[in-house]
Structure 1
């Protein structure tokens, strides 16, 4: 097969974090809004799906061209090399989106792309009549932005944030990909204590444990492209073997999660067991104002309530103040908080060293970063 072009999709604002992960896997990449593109061999499809913690999906790019008429969309789609990637018995539904483009009717674009792909495959497989579509899933996406059409096939299946360890969740669960991003944006290393004072269903502590022991986020799940013959079972086997070889199960970790709600502590504990970290993460019911520690040089990462709902704002503001008091003496600790509350710094009682704009779902938030003192250099 040789080289393929892959797109790792990313939530707004974290493209650089995804790009760093792609580079760490050994691939050069380019960064645009919402996507990181790289050219690699087919084994990269397996590795990227297994290893990328902060990307949403890995898509295989089939082609890109300008189209302002349905004829143009049909002919240019039909001219691409679909038969190289889509087996004769594949199921190939088409999804779509169109932004600021002449061809704005998504349903029309989807059916035209579907027809064009069918025509192409008929020619490729020298076949008349219907395709049964009973085999592996090759979900095609037609994405049109300012009249530029990008055609991809999704290699992931279920979104990459679905790691396979979530037995239960609370009302507003943090996406696993965002949790991993929050940790990646800190200075935490696995030899330091790590605390999430608002742990909810345990996503941030579990993602920290996976990062700490270098466990691939996709180790416990399946991907759509595992059934694609042209990638080959041996590539998947090798990629999964690499995941096994690079995991550092002996790395000791000091990770704790606290939450005011005892039901969330039970859910978090179950999720940690499901992920295989039952003995590594300690969960405890506690409110943030009661937090004390005599440990040094730790990292605190939290996604506290934002007070977006009516009647919660006052409570949340009091809690931010209490948190500021509880953390005031932790001068060797680094503290990172994600919230949409515009007055967080004032309530917490201290301006952040740095803040970064991030989206939690559709909520625009800031990630407030307070860097602690560095440990003294050992001779």
Structure 2
């Protein structure tokens, strides 16, 4: 007798509910909060409030879709569902269980729970995630008769728990994969810069695509490629999908319209506008493949050049350098000469340009031998860094 296979089919997606304003939070690398707030204002989202580690804002469904598609410096966009005091497992369970999860998650869908905890009675993130999951699936089972499964790798719905000083905030993660996953970085060089941090650095320089931009230590090309995306007006989320596309209230017609609107604004990158240089042939090969994957084959130019040979083309523009800090790739004593060299190159070869150096080692920065006209505090992962600006008259 032939065995019958029972296939769990997802129910047809219901018509989107009437639009409503949502309370959102864009999580960002520390130091980039003002950059992200400015990006939201450019998207027409007013009232964005920058705080530590993120930006709070209110928007409708279209604004949420645009934020995910266009934000360059944010890590993810969360939609707040509830907040409540939480100093015990019972309070956590009851607070999460009170949310009408059956309106957002069906038994045929999958879910995952992410947690961040600080200064609270509950200190084990694994336990908090498990207790949250129990409360969610219990509520759905009570309403629907069956429960969804957990899929930590690629869930339909990702729930975020933020527990700080015994106050729990429950949110839906509308981004899915982190927003730095643009889809173009096919390969990574050693100690790569995150795309979101590269975008924040470029924004802090004030570069607007009207003058040249050069990176003399470009590695796998993240800074030049992010600059190219900005100058060509390409949304950073163009070649990826988002968590909200799996939600029950996803509006595909609205999303297609927003994508079409974005596509209509893309322009060709001017020749010679963005360039990268590196002495590592393998890194340059990766950079070229990444640039091609981002749609800039032949438009972003990469040159095999040591730092000693670097000379930017053109009469002025912006030079951005991200040298090693002595914490990941090389020891501090070995890097003193490199930082001296950076100072010499900026002074002797980049007159008329504006130089920026990102470093997580202020002792090494002294060897540049130039007075920074401005300093921006940024975090590269856990490393507190400075983006140093040098006016090169």
Do both proteins adopt the same fold according to a TM-score greater than 0.5, normalized to the shorter chain? yes
1:26 aligns with 2:19: no
247 and 163 in structure 1: CA distance in 2 versus 1, 3 angstrom threshold: same
- CA displacement 1:152-189 (0-9 Å, x = unmatched): 11111111101111121111111000111110001222
- Cα displacement (A) at 1:130: 3.4
- Within 1, Cα distance between the matches of 2:372 and 2:265? 36
The correspondence of residues 245-324 of structure 1 with structure 2, limited to 5 A, is: 245-249=264-268, 251-252=270-271, 254-293=273-312, 295-308=314-327, 312-324=331-343
- Within 2, Cα distance between the matches of 1:326 and 1:237? 48
- Within 1, Cα distance between the matches of 2:284 and 2:62? 39
The equivalent position to 1:131 in structure 2, one of 123, 148, 151, is: 148
- CA displacement 1:129-160 (0-9 Å, x = unmatched): 43356996101122210001011111111111
Q: Which moved more, 1:216-225 or 1:243-252?
A: 243-252
- Cα displacement (A) at 1:81: 3.1
The equivalent position to 2:35 in structure 1, one of 12, 17, 37, is: 17
57 and 297 in structure 1: CA distance in 2 versus 1, 3 angstrom threshold: same
310 and 130 in structure 1: CA distance in 2 versus 1, 3 angstrom threshold: closer
- Within 1, Cα distance between the matches of 2:98 and 2:137? 12
- Cα displacement (A) at 1:252: 4.9
The equivalent position to 2:194 in structure 1, one of 155, 166, 175, is: 175
Counterpart for residue 368 of structure 1:
388
Residues 335 and 364 in structure 2, CA contact (< 8 A), matched pair in contact too: no
Counterpart for residue 377 of structure 1:
none
Counterpart for residue 23 of structure 2:
5
3-state secondary structure, aligned to 1:93? strand
Counterpart for residue 63 of structure 1:
82
- Within 1, Cα distance between the matches of 2:332 and 2:174? 42
3-state secondary structure, aligned to 1:359? strand
3-state secondary structure, aligned to 1:189? coil
- Cα displacement (A) at 1:301: 0.8
1:235 aligns with 2:254: yes
Unmatched 5+ residue regions in structure 2?
1-18
Counterpart for residue 156 of structure 1:
175
Kindly report the root-mean-square deviation, in angstroms, between the aligned alpha carbons of the 2 structures.
2.1
- Within 2, Cα distance between the matches of 1:185 and 1:310? 25
Equivalent residue pairs, number: 371
- Within 2, Cα distance between the matches of 1:95 and 1:230? 22
3-state secondary structure, aligned to 2:319? strand
Unmatched 5+ residue regions in structure 1?
374-379
